[in-house]
Amino acid sequence: MTTVDADSVAAGYDDVRSDQRTDVNWMVLKYEGNQIINSCTGDSFEELQEQFKDDERAFVYLRINTGDEMSKRTKFALLIWLGPEVSVLKKARMSTDRALVKQIIQNFSVEIMLESRGELDLEYLRSRVEKAGGSVYGTGHH
């Protein structure tokens, strides 16, 4: 039975959501045995891209700035990493485990399943968040 290290996950969640306390804009949750833990946090998207192995499952809570010159917005996404070498059984457990994670991580605009490194692209993720968040106004110049 999977459990969540609620204290470490909640602390990382608060760091990502905070505008004042930290520069942290992402948190990676990984499996340690049967427990989901806050594996790491950071502020560099390049560093985030290096966190995943092909045989791993993970969750990411990500802050993304969207909008245009008229209205900047901060949005949050819940990413689910399912590496291409993850077993069918472990993939099947993700829906139950996702429900456990969502008991703590409740505020996000979009949930995105990632199954390849190519999807772990900031512009791709930003476009998915913007589509989920409605219209973008303005001239398109930032």
Contact yes or no for 78/12 (Cβ under 8 A): no
pLDDT in tens, 92-132: 999 899 999 999 999 999 999 999 989 999 999 999 998 88
List the structure tokens of 120.
């772990």
pLDDT at 74 over 60: yes
In the sheet that 72-82 helps form, which strands lie side by side, from edge to edge?
Answer: 3-4, 35-42, 26-32, 57-67, 72-82, 110-114
Residues 46 and 41: their CA atoms lie apart, in Å, by 12
Terminal CA-CA length for the chain: 47
The CATH number that applies at residue 7 is: 3.40.20.10
pTM, full prediction: 0.89
Instruction: Specify if 138 maps to a domain.
Output: no
Structural domains of the chain, count: 1
pLDDT at 76 over 70: yes
Instruction: Specify if 35 maps to a domain.
Output: yes
pLDDT in tens, 35-49: 999 999 999 999 999
Instruction: Specify if 140 maps to a domain.
Output: no
Instruction: Specify if 53 maps to a domain.
Output: yes
